[in-house]
Amino acid sequence: NRTVNAGRIGGDGDLDNSLRPRSLGEFIGQPRVCEQLDLVLQAARGRGGTPDHILLSGPPGLGKTSLAMIIAGEMGAALRVTSGPALERAGDLAAMLSNLVEGDVLFIDEIHRIARPAEEMLYLAMEDFRVDVVVGKGPGATSIPLDVAPFTLVGATTRSGALTGPLRDRFGFTAHMEFYDTGELERVLTRSAGILGITMQPDAGAEIASRSRGTPRIANRLLRRVRDYAEVRADGIVTLPIARAALSVYDVDELGFDRLDRAVLAALVRGFGGGPVGVSTLAVAVGEEPATVEEVCEPFLVRAGMIARTPRGRVATAAAWHHLGLTPPAGALN
Ligand code: ADP
């Protein structure tokens, strides 16, 4: 189940915690983000203050939650966790904010899904460390100002474009997380194999890395599935042939596309002649939520050079036609 917030609670999500990097030094990849963040945090520590509010943006599974935990850790602060969809009413947020202690890091995952009234309360809290709580209804309603302890908001979003301007403007630093390259994912896998006590040969690590959709969470998930296969069908050692055999059982192809990626590509090419077609139409065609197609599938298919975004909609590139074993029409994008 690959919904936008998949893997957060329970199941593999819990295991994820043992694999999370604990410090910036342990965090693999994203060198620019790490350098920028390190400066922000060191400067704040030097001044003895709280760092500016930080926005982390990028597709799921790239390490936003891990970075939020690292930020709190590096500041010696407590991390409070909530999410946009959980903050339906302004009162939910007011309760959260009024419990903060000076220096706390408040992590709001999927911050683009926060409800309007809570968002407006958040503006004031971010800017002035104050909230106005409205008590009562109608003409008798009064607004009670409350102080909030100075805190750092860390927001995570898979769609920074969906954030309103005023909210985006209140972050002092935005980190754009990129997909990981294969070498970085190999390092993630080697580290995870060490933590989980898995014997993995280097060429097997490289193979799993190249099929992980540029995403550490997926790399770790595939590693566990390959381990299952190695334990059940062999002697537990993850070799290249074992990795290949396991990945084919789990329907991960050579480019790392999974079932949904392939369904989207096939719909675009076979169903819509290569486009252009809108993302919600594509989502209906494959029976998925538009948000999942737009925030999970599409970014990777774009990065893999299979889909191009045009003002008129999504278009399949020549590579997409070839990937499906078809001849691209004359004039297909390269
Ligand atoms: P997001 O919040 O962006 O969806 P997470 O922070 O939950 O992503 O990361 C998912 C998992 O991927 C983590 O539990 C961790 O095991 C792994 N991971 C993410 N980034 C890294 C990294 N830079 N180095 C090592 N492992 C990572």
The verdict on whether 137 is a catalytic residue reads no
pTM, whole model, 2 decimals? Answer: 0.89
Is 217 one of the annotated active-site residues of the chain?
yes
State how far Cα 134 lies from the chain centre: 34
Alpha-carbon Rg for the chain, nearest whole angstrom, is 22
- 162 vs 151: CA distance, rounded Å: 24
pLDDT, tens digit (0-9, with 9 covering 90-100), for 22-48: 999 999 999 999 999 999 999 999 999
Residues contacting ligand 1 via CB (< 6 Å): 16, 19-21, 27-29, 60-66, 156, 188, 216-217, 220
Q: Is 66 helix (H, G, I), strand (E, B) or coil?
A: helix
Cα torsion through 36, 38, 39, 45, rounded to 10: 150
Nearby residues of 146 by Cβ (< 8 Å), 6 or more positions away: 94, 98, 130, 131, 132, 133
Which tokens hold the place of 311? 């003002």
Catalytic residue among 113, 217, 221, 262: 217
Helix axes 216-233, 202-210, angle to 10 degrees: 130
Tens of pLDDT, residues 147-206: 999 999 999 999 888 899 999 999 999 999 999 999 999 999 999 999 999 999 999 999
ipTM above 0.95, yes or no: yes
Query: Cβ atoms within 10 A of the Cβ of 237, count?
Result: 14
